[in-house]
Amino acid sequence: MKFYNRERELNYLKTYVQLEPNSILFVYGPKSSGKTTVILRVIEELSKRDDLIFFYYDLREYATPTKEEFLKIFFEKGDKKYLLNKLEINLGVFKFGVEENINFNNLSLNDVFTKMKESIKEVIKDGKKPILIIDELQKLKNIYFNGGKSLLNELFNLFIHLTKVRHLCHVICLTSDTLFIEEIYRNSTLKNASEYYLIDWLEKKTIKEILKEEGFNEDEINYCLNYLSLPYEISQLINNKKLGLSVKETIKQWINIEKDGLMFLIANMPDELDENKIYEILNKFRDKIKVEDYEIIKRELIKEFKFLVENEILFYDVVNGIIKPTSIIEWHAINEIIERA
């Protein structure tokens, strides 16, 4: 699918990376809302310039890495302090450079951070601005170095040093794990050292423009506006129409898939969770698509709430205090289940 109307998000991020680094930026949003697509477009447009160097790591490409795998993902052996990522030549992004004869097994965490800082300072020495982007950062949560030091916690300290303290390098972290964002948001270490940017559902006017451009008629568009919210849904809908499926057939299929998946999830949830509490939470969305967080985040519902967020049924926007289904399709599926319960 073509890159449609994310101008506001593009302009924000393109402007942000050209300002002086002063904080860590966390880009978050519902699954499949287009976070990676937007950041890749930013890189594509700005990496053509001679004064910006992007270090980009998409951790969704990898199984949850071990310590050794983390080092191989983030570093490239060669004769320079920063080198083109051989797996992303077309994108033109870089990896931190280390000497050919280095033994990853003997690196301490301080060694790792020293190597990162050396690469960043070399970029600056070459008269360029370094920008570090990590997609799905939460996948580093369970990596520990010497003496049981948490890689992620120590990385946050390094990121604060690079941004807020020394203003050397932009650090942008992307995630759709909203419980991870909650941890970060309430982390005292990151207070006054981080910013948050939401990439959310597509606006109805944008969806309408896309479908009109793709040749959908007025009735189809008006029907779709009650159900669509995510870029990939539009892409699939366009393809399905070319394959001869009607708009209503496609959307009905999607709702049934989400409904069956949610019913299966509830039927097989851990014994310590209460099914009645699951339905109590879901009932909050009977008449509205989003609720204030205080309506659900209560001691007696917290385990069930986290279960629904972890399984991407609900999206928790801790920054704005809002909880909603991960998509409008999911909302319709929830309401069908509620009506049958």
CATH number for domain 7-198, candidates 3.40.50.620, 3.30.1360.70, 1.20.1560.10, 3.40.50.300: 3.40.50.300
Q: Tell which residue, 298, 336, 291, has the closest CA to residue 314.
A: 291
Q: Does pLDDT of 51 surpass 80?
A: yes
**pLDDT of 243:** 95
Q: What is the pLDDT of residues 176-205, one digit of tens each?
A: 999 999 999 999 999 999 999 999 999 999
Strand partners, 132: 55, 171
Q: How far apart are CA 8 and CA 15, in angstroms?
A: 11
For residue 63, the model assigns a pLDDT of 84
Across residues 274-296, what is the average pLDDT? 97
DSSP 122-152: HHHHTT-EEEEEEETGGGGTT-EEGGGEEHH
Which of the four pLDDT bands, split at 50, 70 and 90, describes residue 2? low
Determine phi and psi for 222, rounding to 5 degrees: -60, -35
Residue 88 has pLDDT above 90, yes or no: no
Q: What are the pLDDT digits (tens) for 141-188?
A: 999 987 788 999 999 999 999 999 999 999 999 999 999 999 999 999
pLDDT tens digit sequence for 217-226? 999 999 999 9
The mean pLDDT of the chain is 94
Mean pLDDT confidence for 126-132: 97
192: alpha, beta or left? (left if phi > 0; alpha if psi -120 to 50) = left
Report the distance separating Cα 14 and Cα 182, nearest Å: 26
Instruction: State the Cα–Cα distance between residues 62 and 59, nearest whole angstrom.
Output: 6
Percent of the chain with pLDDT over 70: 99
The helices-and-strands tally (H runs, E runs) of the chain is 13, 13
Give the model's confidence band at 86: pLDDT under 50 very low, under 70 low, under 90 confident, else very high. confident
Selected from 1.10.10.10, 3.30.70.120, 3.50.50.60, 3.20.20.10, the CATH number assigned to the domain covering 204-340 reads 1.10.10.10
More reliable by pLDDT, 63 or 147: 63
Quickly state the pLDDT bin for 3 (edges 50, 70, 90).
low
- At residue 331, what are phi and psi to the nearest 5 degrees? -60, -45
Which of 132, 134, 119, 115 has its CA nearest to residue 61?
134
pLDDT tens digits for 261-284? 999 999 999 999 999 999 999 999
Q: In whole angstroms, give the CA distance from residue 174 to residue 147.
A: 28
Give the model confidence (pLDDT) of 228-273 as tens digits.
999 999 999 999 999 999 999 999 999 999 999 999 999 999 999 9
Query: What ranges do the domains of the chain cover?
Result: 7-198, 204-340
Two domains, one topology: 7-198 and 204-340 = no
The reported pLDDT for the residue numbered 87 is 83
Q: What is the pLDDT of residue 105?
A: 83
Check: pTM over 0.85? Answer yes or no. Answer: yes
Residues 6+ apart with CB under 8 A from 125: none
